[in-house]
Amino acid sequence: MKRGTVILIILVIFLAIVGMNACSSRNKMVTMEESISGTWSEVENQYQRRSDLIPNIVATVQAEADFEKSTLEAVQNARSNATKVTLSVDQLTPENVQKFQDAQAAVSSSLSRLLAVAENYPDLKTNASFKNLQVDLEGTENRIATARMRFNESVQTYNTSIRQFPRNIWAGVFGFGKKGYFESDPGTEKAPNVNELFNK
């Protein structure tokens, strides 16, 4: 066999191996990105569930004639701002995820304040509708935490994979970039102080 033919066969085999590796890597990254898309949809669904509860909470609280108007407005404004921040799987950069998280944190903060202030209203505390809404809200917050955890797990698997050799080469070639995580909200490392909630 001629030397040129041997080199050609080796080159064809090498290119076939590289091509199969590229296809396999791309398919793996697509699968992981779809997993992120699914877990992100669940995060959005749970935040939407919370957002849908807010008008009912506000309406129930407004029935208490002398309830603080500024507290209700803060909740409504935070909800309005949070619903404006939407992201597709292609937009899940660390910076964009942080913007989404900040908008949702503002909702959490205003809801916490509303619930803390509601403790000063005996009629509201005994209102069955308000109690049910509080239970629904608590359940939704738990679902949000679970959805965020699953999303972060998917992102970790994906981000680790696209940094490993040789997949990091194919990630660059095919345009697969790093995705953002949900971070702990500032101040969550310490227990909340009820007095601080009332003095905000």
Sorted by where each starts, the structural domains of the chain and their CATH numbers stand as 3-198 (1.20.1440.20)
Neighbouring residues of 122: CB distance < 8 A, sequence distance ≥ 6: none
Mean pLDDT (the chain, rounded): 87
pLDDT digit string, tens, across residues 98-155: 999 999 999 999 999 998 888 888 888 788 888 899 999 999 999 999 999 999 999 9
Given a cut of 90, is residue 158 above it in pLDDT? yes
* Eight-state DSSP code of residue 121: -
What mean pLDDT is predicted for residues 44-71?
A: 86
Q: What is the pTM of this model?
A: 0.81
What's the CA gap between 74 and 67, in Å, rounded?
Answer: 13
Given a cut of 90, is residue 164 above it in pLDDT? yes
Q: How far is CA 80 from the centre of its chain?
A: 17
Residue 175 Ramachandran class (φ > 0 left, ψ -120 to 50 alpha, else beta): left
- Given a contact cutoff of 8 angstroms between Cβ atoms, the answer to whether 124 and 64 are in contact is yes
pLDDT at 126: 80
pLDDT digit string, tens, across residues 62-113: 877 577 788 888 999 999 999 999 999 889 999 999 999 999 999 999 999 9
Confidence of residue 195 (pLDDT cuts 50, 70, 90): very low
Given a cut of 50, is residue 192 above it in pLDDT? no
Confidence of residue 171 (pLDDT cuts 50, 70, 90): very high
What's the CA gap between 19 and 16, in Å, rounded?
Answer: 5
pLDDT at 109: 93
Q: Which two tokens stand for residue 32?
A: 């992981």
pLDDT at 185: 64
Confidence of residue 59 (pLDDT cuts 50, 70, 90): confident
* Eight-state DSSP code of residue 38: H
